[in-house]
Amino acid sequence: MHGRKREEDPNPEETAAKALELRSLQSQFMSNHHQKIYTKEAIQLSAKLLITNPEFYTAWNYRKLAFESRLDEDSDTSVVNSIIDEELGVVKNALERNIKSYGAWYHRKWVLSRKGHYYPSLENELQLLNDYQKQANQKQDDEKQDDPSRNFHAWNYRRFVVELTKTSKEDELQYTTDMISDISFTIYSAWHYRSVLVSSLVAKKADGFMPKETIRRELDYVHSAIFTLEEKQSGWFYYLWLLDQTVKMETPLRFSSWPSDGSIIILSGPDCFNASSSTTKLTTFCSESGSFPLILYFDQAVSGVSSSTVTIDSELKDLVWEPVSDKKNSQVDSCVWVARLKCDSREPCFSRKETKVKVSLGGIVSSMGCNLTAPYEFVFTLRIHDTLEGESSQQESIVSWTDDLDNWDDDALSNDLHSFIAFKADTGFEWRKKAIKIEIEHFRTLPDSKIGKLILARLLMAEETMIANGVHYKEILQLYNDLMALDSWHAQYYKDEHSVALIHKVTSRTESMSRHLFRYRSMNNIVCLRLNNLTLSRIAAVEKLLFVQMLDLSHNEFHSAEGLEAMQLLCCLNLSHNRIRSFSALNSLRHLKQLRVLDVSHNHICGELPVDTTRYLCSSPLSNSGETGREVPNKYQDAYLVLRDLMKLKQLDIRGNDLIFAGEEFSSFVRHVVPKLVWLDGHKHTS
């Protein structure tokens, strides 16, 4: 186990005799346990058994029962302390036999945490731990001996004792300094404990622990570890944690929205998709129901988004805000929140063809418990088209991703585009920028290495996040290309990070973004964003893409659609010629309520069930869905879970995948799940 070879027993006869003795001890012990015998002899027998085998959990439980029984009989303080001393002695002997015995460590904590009894020697526990954990130098000559300084049981027990004795966090921080500096730079547990202590001291604003000074001090401290022992990972983990603390804002101030501040939204009727126009409008939104989504995107998960924390014009009815997330806690925390604003002509504010809408935010809380400290508001103008009301006609023509696309050449729309891709700047970045800049200078002097290149790439990305001038992206992309060549084992991770940097580069400036924008003539000249043939494997910068209604991600290397759920305006999506292996990888598309066209052709989507098949073992409403009116075959379960929520879908292309998605059976299944579907795999459905 753990790379250690099993050694051949040199004395099999002696081992057999010990096994016989152990069985005899267990037999006598179990008899005492069943008869609830807690005499001195019986308790001594259990101690002998535990010293022989510390992993005998029943014996620890027996000693707990015996401990309680003896305390009930005598409550004299000196007697109680003697009993506690005896228990701690048994634990000590057991740990000498096996330092990683869960039962022994837990029993020691249980004894010391008994309510109503104060153990005067508790104050000595920390000193005992100090002596024990600092024995590392004396133990290193024996390779078979576990290093006490790295024993996570001891570190967990230390935190327990610190809480009981109310030892100050400042003292404990100094202890980690001593352990790292005097014993070894490579003690993972010490670095982890240090991160916990620093976080707590900064959070409560302890004297000398303001974020700016603390992070600078800790960065300087960890340099001695990572630059001295570059090949050791423990210090790097702590450094990466510090880097995250440097970039991350405490409060969720940074967000984007759709509509953006100062924008003019043109709300058209349901047939605008079938119309043609001589002009292009980034802000035109085609609505089949006279409503459109309001989208708030935060840089961290937030809760508390409701009609009381987000107010929208007193004349409008309260809106229902919903989180957009597949995570389990999405009912309370999410980066993306959406509400549907209904434009009812009977409302006074919509009796006019143009109205201003003001959105105010306040009282929102991040997942880390920080409030949106400064209230924020944005205003947009809503222009309502004369043909807003009415029924939508059927989509007669098929949407093509190769025809009817014209180059973007409208300079007049640059201001509109800038308003959408300009992320709100935050205050409080100055010291963070300075800290990152100093770190970049340090790492430029580091000799070429895998970890050095990776950290430099992350530092440059962090600086781009704060200054947003696009000067570092060329170097970042080259660093990730170098890493893919240096470290093939982690090539997919580097490719994902390369994709993130590339998309940020594309969306960083109006000029670079414009090169990927096109007009689609057949759908009222809506703007199509084409990010195809870029070898992308991960989506990013979606906070700058909330305005996009038509997106082409074909001929890339995506394995899933994760991240696209934030783009609530998407009506056309092309994911063909990627590396998607199942419909479950498209699960995030369930949130795109406006989606009308979906192309997932020529991927690797198969009908085999994913690894997590437990959800199919029990009866479920999905097995005989009332929505489809028929039983859903197992091979279509994943497809059903995605398609059932795409109620506006009119065109689906799934050619070039598993053969089970071809033929009349699948066609019939899709017609039942998506009743509005008109085009399937390039063929028009007949009534």
Q: What span, in angstroms and rounded, lies between the C-alpha atoms of 538 and 535?
A: 9
Q: Is 361 exposed, middle or buried (0-12, 13-18, 19+ CB in 10 A)?
A: buried
Q: What span, in angstroms and rounded, lies between the C-alpha atoms of 529 and 541?
A: 13
Q: What are the residues facing 360 on neighbouring strands? A: 311, 377
- Segment 304-309 shows an average pLDDT of 86
Q: Which 3-state string (H, E, C) describes 82-150? A: HHHHHHHHHHHHHHHHCCCCHHHHHHHHHHHCCCCCCCHHHHHHHHHHHHHHCCHHHHCCCCCCCCHHH
Q: How confident is the model at residue 131 (pLDDT cuts 50, 70, 90)?
A: confident
pLDDT for residue 291 is more than 70 = yes
- Order of strands, sheet of 405-407, starting from the edge strand that comes earlier in the sequence: 405-407, 517-520, 526-530, 550-552, 572-574, 597-599, 651-653, 679-680, 683-684
- Intra-chain end-to-end CA distance of the chain, in Å: 65
- Segment 186-199 shows an average pLDDT of 91
- pLDDT for 3: 58
3-state secondary structure of 233: coil
Q: DSSP characters for 343-366?
A: --TTSGGGSSSEEEEEEEE-S-EE
Q: How confident is the model at residue 416 (pLDDT cuts 50, 70, 90)?
A: low
Angle between helices 234-247 and 430-444 (to 10 degrees): 150
Q: pLDDT of 345-363, one tens digit each? A: 555 555 556 788 888 888 7
- pLDDT for 623: 38
Which DSSP letter does residue 652 get? E
Q: What span, in angstroms and rounded, lies between the C-alpha atoms of 659 and 355?
A: 52
pLDDT for residue 67 is more than 80 = yes
Which DSSP letter does residue 654 get? -
Which DSSP letter does residue 371 get? B
Q: pLDDT of 445-490, one tens digit each? A: 877 788 889 999 999 999 998 887 788 999 999 999 999 999 999 9
Residue tagged 């170097």 (tokens): 475
Q: How confident is the model at residue 290 (pLDDT cuts 50, 70, 90)?
A: low
The pTM of this model reads 0.82
Angle value at C-alpha 192, between 186 and 198, nearest 5 degrees: 120
Give the amino acid at 583.
F
Beta-strand pair 365-366/291-303:
antiparallel
* Contact call for residues 648 and 635 (beta carbons, < 8 A): no
pLDDT for residue 271 is more than 60 = no
Q: pLDDT of 207-252, one tens digit each? A: 999 988 999 999 999 998 888 877 788 889 999 999 988 887 666 5
Q: pLDDT of 553-609, one tens digit each? A: 999 999 999 999 999 999 999 999 999 999 999 999 999 999 999 999 999 998 665
3-state secondary structure of 38: coil
Q: pLDDT of 525-537, one tens digit each? A: 788 999 999 999 9
More confident: 118 or 359: 359
